[in-house]
Each structure stands twice: as C-alpha cells, then as structure tokens.
Amino acid sequence: MGAFVNNHEKGIYKCAICGTELFSSDTKFDSGTGWPSFTDPANLEHVVLKEDPSLGMSRTEVLCKTCGAHLGHVFDDGPAEKGGKRYCINSVCLEFEKK
C-alpha cells in the first residue's frame, strides 16, 4: 500500500534500491486493492517472475532483475482488454520520476 496508490502524474516508477526503470504511469490502473497496480512492466527484461508458495498460497513474485529486490506479486485478474495481468507492487519498493 502507500504513497503511490493515488498518484496520477505521468512518469516512470523505478526500483527504490537500484533505480532500474520498472513501470510506466501509462500502465497504472486503479485495481481497488489499495496497492499500486500495473498491467505490464515498462520492460520485461527488468523484472524476474518467481513462484512464491509462502503463506500456503501459490503466487508469482515480482523481483527487480538488477538487484533482486522483492517488488510484489502478479495476478491474472487485471483488465482483460490489456492482457489480464495485475502487477500488484508495494509503494515502498518504488521511486517515482515525474515526466
């Protein structure tokens, strides 16, 4: 949750640890979950997806490929017209660079 849930400015979301560009404001949407949500990474080469069986669930974890920081999880309940993915990312893992 946090700072970027209601951010509607244009720009790029970067890894708070290493500065790698992760998500564009163009793919951000209001998922109603209270977490910043995106339909796609800005560049698939900048993230790693990994099975996360913690908490007795089967989820897909999203990590920064550059530094390995945990960013959040990706789910298959995003907007169908935009591919159906919801990258649910924790605000503390992100920095925002306004365009």
Q: What is the pLDDT of residues 23-76, one digit of tens each?
A: 999 999 999 999 999 999 999 999 999 999 888 888 999 999 999 999 999 999
Task: Tell me the average pLDDT across 69-84.
Answer: 96
- State the DSSP string of 17-35: TT--EEEEGGGEE--SSSS
Spans of all domains in the chain: 11-98
pLDDT at 67: 98
Question: 15, 18, 67, 88: which is the annotated catalytic residue?
Answer: 88
Which residue in 80, 97, 2, 3 sits closest to 42, CA to CA?
97
2.170.150.20, 3.40.50.720, 3.40.630.30, 3.40.50.360: which CATH number matches 11-98? Answer: 2.170.150.20
Angle (CA) 25 77 38, round 5°? 10
* 67 in active site: no
